[in-house]
Amino acid sequence: MHRRQHAAALCRLRYCGSANIWGFAIYLGGPDAYNDAVLPNGLHAGSPEDALDCACGLYLNDPQPGSNPRRTNDEDH
């Protein structure tokens, strides 16, 4: 028997008229409970990558959103 895997809700993107700029809301843990959010750069909209970095930083305890915690020196891995 296979165990079901459930996706974890982190954030929701909102189309702002451009493929590069999206608004986003952070998931609050309740049924359909999302709250409009601001990116670390102070903007209310940005790239999907910026939104995911911010949400992952909040939920996965990344101390600096956008940083690469696996990197241990100045060389590319």
What is the domain extent for residue 17?
Answer: 11-59
Asked whether residue 73 is domain-assigned, the answer is: no
**Mean per-residue pLDDT for 57-61?**
82
Asked whether residue 67 is domain-assigned, the answer is: no
Asked whether residue 64 is domain-assigned, the answer is: no
Asked whether residue 55 is domain-assigned, the answer is: yes
Closest CA to 59 of 4, 3, 21, 7: 7
pTM of this structure: 0.64
Closest CA to 59 of 15, 9, 24: 9
Asked whether residue 68 is domain-assigned, the answer is: no
Number of domains in the chain: 1
15, pLDDT greater than 90: yes
Asked whether residue 74 is domain-assigned, the answer is: no
Q: Cα–Cα distance between 23 and 61 in angstroms, integer? A: 22
- Residue 2: the pLDDT is 60
